Amino acid sequence: MFDQIRTGTVQIADKSPVGGLWAPNKNNWGPRVGFAWDVLGNGTLALRGGYGIGYERNFGNVTYNVIQNPPNYATISVTNGIDVPQGTLPIFVDNLGPLGGAGSTCGDPSAVPAGTSCFPNPSLRAVQQNIPTAYVQFWSGTVDYQLLRNSVFSIEYVGSKGTHEYSIANLNAAGYGSTFLGDALSTNRLNYQYSNINYRGANGFNSYNGVNLKFQSTNLFNKGLYLTANYTWSHAIDNLSSTFSDGTAGNYTLGFLDPFNANLNKGNADYDIRNRFVLSGTWNIPWGSNMSQGWERQAFGGWSFSPILNIRSGLPYTIYDGTQITQTGLGYSDPFYIPTQPINQRGSASNSTAVAPNLFNYLPLPIDPTTGIPVGAGVALAVPVCATLDHGGCVYSTNGLPQGHRNSYTGPGYWNMNFVIAKTFKLTERYNLQFRSEFYDAFNHSNYYINAVNLDVEQGTGVTAIQALKGEPGGGLPSILPTERRNIQFALKLNF
**Segment 283-298, tens digit of pLDDT:** 998 877 777 677 677 7
Q: Which residues contact 65 (CB under 8 A, 6 or more apart)?
A: 125, 198
Select the more confidently predicted residue: 301 or 216: 216
What's residue 247's pLDDT?
A: 66
Percent of the chain with pLDDT over 70: 84
- Average pLDDT for residues 223-238, to the nearest whole number? 95
**Segment 99-129, tens digit of pLDDT:** 766 555 565 656 666 667 777 888 999 999 9
Mean pLDDT of all residues in the chain? 83
- 3-state DSSP assignment of residue 62: helix
What's residue 406's pLDDT?
A: 85
Q: Which residues contact 202 (CB under 8 A, 6 or more apart)?
A: 128, 131, 132, 133, 134, 164, 165, 166, 167
462-467 β-sheet, strand order: 354-356, 359-364, 462-467, 448-450
What's residue 65's pLDDT?
A: 87
What's residue 481's pLDDT?
A: 63
Q: Which of 81-95, 421-435, 459-473 has the lowest mean pLDDT?
A: 81-95
Using only the alpha carbons of the chain, give its radius of gyration.
30
Phi and psi at residue 51, in whole multiples of 5°? -150, 145
Q: Which residues contact 69 (CB under 8 A, 6 or more apart)?
A: 10, 122, 124, 125, 126
Q: Distances from the Cα of 139 to the Cαs of 33, 34, 48, 158, in angstroms?
A: 10, 9, 11, 6
Q: Which of 5-9, 44-48, 94-98, 475-479 has the lowest mean pLDDT?
A: 475-479
What's residue 341's pLDDT?
A: 78
Helices (H) and strands (E) in the chain, counts: 5, 21
Asked if 288 and 301 count as a contact pair (C-beta separation under 8 A), the reply is yes
What's residue 384's pLDDT?
A: 46
What is d(CA 167, CA 170) in angstroms, rounded to the nearest whole number? 10
**Segment 29-44, tens digit of pLDDT:** 999 999 999 999 999 9
